[in-house]
Chain A
Amino acid sequence: MTHYIPDPVAGILLVAVIAAIALVVRQRKAARALRQEIAGLRSHYSELENQYTQSVQAAQERADDATKTVLKSAMRTLQGLAAEQQLIVSRLQTKYGESVILQDLLEIDHTNSQFGRRAQSIAVLCDGWLGRQREVASVYDVVRSAQGRIRHYRRVEILSQVDFGITSRAVEPVALALAELLDNATSYSSPDTVVEINIRTVPKGICIVVDDAGVGMNDEERVRAEKLLSTERVSGVAGLGNPPQFGFAVIGVLAERFGFEVSVDSTSPYGGVRAVLLLPHDLLTSAPEQREPAPVLPAVATTAGLGGPEPALGGTTTADGLPKRRRKRPMAVVPSTPSAAPAPPPAAPAGTSRRSGAESAAIMGAFQRGTQSGRATPAETDMTSSTRGASSEGHEIS
């Protein structure tokens, strides 16, 4: 053993080696500890990151929900106002039907419809109110309703009709979705082209085909449209882009919620887009009768003929006890016999079964003036008196 010791260099080396080994071991240990710490930190970090993403997402969802709620109620107000204004405009149109003002009233009506539709679209994206439920309407009328909700409605032509109606639940959503399609079709084609609508019966239901003569969509737009229409639903108004593109997002939501299909993947014969809205059989029903149902007429005619008190149709009276007019009340069609023509004015207060002498005289006098003005040449003064009578009559029956 001793012969090893005398070599001091070896001894030093040995010590150094041992020291080095100890050092390495320690370092290794430290490194392992560090590594563990790093791994711990990393997992902690990713956990934090996850939590952060989650909370950001939650915050975003909350913000989206808040936006949706606000927009929903704001749109509800706007929709209500638009509907109210539409009623007022309708009333004015009947009241001033013979005047030149009518032209302007029709334009106001048009603007108002577009305004209502915009509010409706935003409401749809925010899971809001779609508007009042409609009665069953013919496919043709629903298409025309959609036509009336876009700016360039004059460029839309309906080329065919079918004898089908749309269930009351689906009238408004189909009209709105179609309006969005027509809006796209008219906005992305030149102003002198026509947008054609064909309504076809197919085994699966009914197709409403919209063909425009625009430039069509590029691949990117097509992909976006397909995504919005089939798989990816938009929620809220985020992600609509700037300027926001509502059309396909709205249509996609409506199609999913009400069970119809919309596709825009084909090309129209004119080189533009062909959009097809497929209405399945559950949304269809037989075509509704004309707005003036004939069977109700005899009832009105008989009560009128008896001269009894106005039955205040449906028993509606205002708080003051006056009979209330009902809209959409059927009116007499062309009388086959002249005797059915003179119906008593419906505005007569309920309860007066017989007219007083003065009243009869007034009525007869009015009748006489009417016939006189009718025979007269259309001089300006006569016109006003006779037209006023006609307009008030029209108002009562509408």
Chain B
Amino acid sequence: MTGYDELEPQTPELVRPYVITKGRGLPAEDQLSLITLVTATADHRQRPTRLSPEEQKLLDLCAAGYLSVAEIAGHTQLPLGVVKILLAALTEGGYLITRPPVQRAPLADRDILEEVLNGLRAKFG
């Protein structure tokens, strides 16, 4: 059993990640962070066939709606940075739109939190 299975992890990937990224550099952190949201542009149907299978796959993933960069990377087998590079390139090509993550301020409504806290104190405190 081990003899058979030991063979498998020994084969390195055929296509190396630097070929997949075509040697492009990492995008800036403020351009694409882990929680930047990404979605495909509406006209992704007229996708050119020149895109690599990995890029096609990313577009498929993003076609359904906004996904965070971290999630997208989780669904591929590629290193996170490689996914970022591909996403940045696709964004530049106009196939994807990125949206910065939702800011902290609108999420944490201080008044409500205080009210909840007061309510809890009144009930249990």
Q: Do A and B come from the same complex?
A: yes
- A interface secondary structure, majority: helix
Residue A184 at the chain B interface, CB threshold 8 Å: no
Residue B5 at the chain A interface, CB threshold 8 Å: yes
Residues of A within 8 A of B116 (CB): none
Please tell me which one of the listed residues A135, A161, A324, A390 contacts residue B5 in the complex, with CB atoms under 8 A apart: A324
8 A Cβ contacts from B45-97 to A: 49-50, 52-53, 57, 61, 64, 67-68, 70, 73-75, 77-83
Residue B26 at the chain A interface, CB threshold 8 Å: yes
A378 touches B9 (CB 8 A): no
What distance in Å separates the Cβ of B10 from its nearest Cβ neighbour in chain A?
Answer: 7
C-beta contact mask, A281-296 vs B, less than 8 Å → 1, else 0? 0000000001110000
Q: Interface residue tally of chain A, by bracket?
A: 35 or more
Residues of A within 8 A of B77 (CB): 291-292, 328, 331, 397-398
Residues of B within 8 A of A375 (CB): 102, 104, 107-108
Bound CA–CA A107/B19 (angstroms): 11
B14 touches A134 (CB 8 A): yes
Residue A267 at the chain B interface, CB threshold 8 Å: no
Knowing A98-B34, A327-B9, A375-B104 touch, does A148 contact B79 (C-beta < 8 A)? Answer: no
Bound CA–CA A83/B7 (angstroms): 13
Residue B43 at the chain A interface, CB threshold 8 Å: no
B103 touches A97 (CB 8 A): no
Please tell me which one of the listed residues A148, A290, A327 contacts residue B53 in the complex, with CB atoms under 8 A apart: A290
Knowing A102-B81, A171-B14 touch, does A374 contact B35 (C-beta < 8 A)? Answer: yes
Bound CA–CA A269/B54 (angstroms): 30
Knowing A97-B79, A316-B2 touch, does A326 contact B18 (C-beta < 8 A)? Answer: no
Residues on A facing B (Cβ under 8 Å): 83, 86-87, 90, 93-94, 96-100, 102-103, 106-107, 109-110, 113, 132, 134-135, 137-138, 140-142, 144-145, 147-148, 153-154, 159, 161, 171, 175, 290-292, 314-316, 324, 326-328, 331-334, 374-378, 383, 386-387, 390-391, 393-394, 397-398
